[in-house]
Amino acid sequence: MVASSSSMAISAKWVLITIARFSNEALSFFLFSLLDVIDVLLCFVYKVADFFYESEWKPCYCSSHDQEAISSGDGNKILVSEKGLSLSTKLKLEEVSDTLYTRPSLLSDLSKVTVNELRRLKVKPFLIGSTANAAVRSTFTVNSTIVDMLQEKINGGQSPRWSECNCKLCSCWSSSSKQSLFVRSQGPKDHPHEDVLFIHGFISSSAFWTETLFPHFSASAKSAYRLLAVDLLGFGRSPKPANSLYTLKEHVDMIESSVLETHKVKSFHIVAHSLGCILALALAVKHPGSVKSLTLLAPPYYPVPKGEEEASQYVMRKVAPRRVWPPIALGASIACWYEHISRTVCLLICKNHRFWEFLTKLITRNRIESFLVEGFFAHTHNAAWHTLHNVICGTGGKMERYLDIIRETVKCEVNIFHGGDDDVVPVECSYNLKARVPRARVNVVQNKDHITIVMGRRKAFARELEGIWRNSNA
């Protein structure tokens, strides 16, 4: 009798799980099919609006064509080339993720079927959209939006667009002749014992560190270490050029010029969160003898299976699975798959950030720390969109190589912290990284999530960091 009841309970649970999974799949199919259509319509709306406000058509990735590219001569890398484009501004295509202009969807699948059918009937297709052109694109072509943005970069066009906030805080960088990242420094300025570089995550700022950890470091740590927290390119108070592609190389180059060179940093520790972990690994690979320790919080490492030819596409599907549930998957999918819907979100929220900051403080009665709200709003769509694709998705095929170099060449200590309740970056990512770098130590903190892994244990984490820095010199 007991066994029968147990069997019935298991069967009922299996039925409920099956129904929930089917409902999620069906609802997701309907919603994202609808969003596919809405994004196409918004593309037309923004074309008209851009022309009205800026007197020219602005490029986007869903309605652009392909341009010719040239080989670099080594047989492996392709460089962008365009008539009238200075050859000194060549861009390696491997720095640009194909997820920017190739995002499979119901509409794109229909486009491909149409293209194939027209080719079978020997009819030359006339289709608008990068997904349609993807079916006929050769190896030596590149999306024209990238070429257009490079052309703007040469011409020096980088002022804020009409759909972006132009307040004093958001545009303070545009008045400076030298574009440099915003860096918050604390500790001895002359001859510090050691330097520590803090790199924040996606849609955040240096305040994530300065408002949480900096006040809790001991007096001895503050006198021995120079703490350097940087606002990444496109975020916080750092420059947000409209012509930047926000590639991994651009982010790393700006950190080098704005932090390492400006502050004359020779050797340093790195503390990085989420997206910042990818930049931290790239810096460690580039400066293997200078990095004293690596502390990574919630590193977004998704190992690409062997035989998977489209690494960036695989990572995009892991980050943004086009599912309604859980809610974090829905938000990530909208941000990653829909260029114009996500631009609309930024138009409504980021451009009017002062109103939303006031409303958030009023509703929550300041229960949400203001620096988190300000950091969330202090970016442009161009910066968030390109960083999401070119850094998080685009490094899918590079991470294994980076981690192999960390394992074999970079001899510094590697520590990983991850919240047990993190629903943004799964805990498996940290264990995957340890599998690639066995000496890495993984510390899963229970009852903490993607943010409270730092904010929920400020004093404790500050002491742990001090211990890591001391041990690296032992």
Which are the catalytic amino acids?
A: 200, 274, 422, 450
d(CA 100, CA 96): 8
Nearest alpha-carbon partner for 385 in 203, 160, 159: 203
Q: What SS3 class is residue 314?
A: helix
Beta strands in 333-449 (DSSP E): 413-419, 441-445
Sheet of strand 194-199, all strands in order from the earlier edge strand to the far edge: 183-186, 225-230, 194-199, 268-273, 291-297, 413-419, 441-445
Burial (Cβ within 10 Å: 0-12, 13-18, ≥19) of residue 195:
buried
How many residues are there in the chain? 474
Which one-letter DSSP state was computed for residue 343? H
User: Can you say whether residue 336 is alpha, beta or left, with left for phi > 0 and alpha for psi between -120 and 50 degrees?
Assistant: alpha
For residue 345, give the H/E element and its range. helix 339-349
> CA end-to-end span of the chain, whole Å?
64
The answer to whether 421 and 447 have CB atoms below 8 angstroms apart is: yes
Burial (Cβ within 10 Å: 0-12, 13-18, ≥19) of residue 416:
buried
> Alpha helices of 97-143 — where are they, by DSSP H?
106-120, 130-133
Nearest alpha-carbon partner for 296 in 183, 425, 442, 438: 442
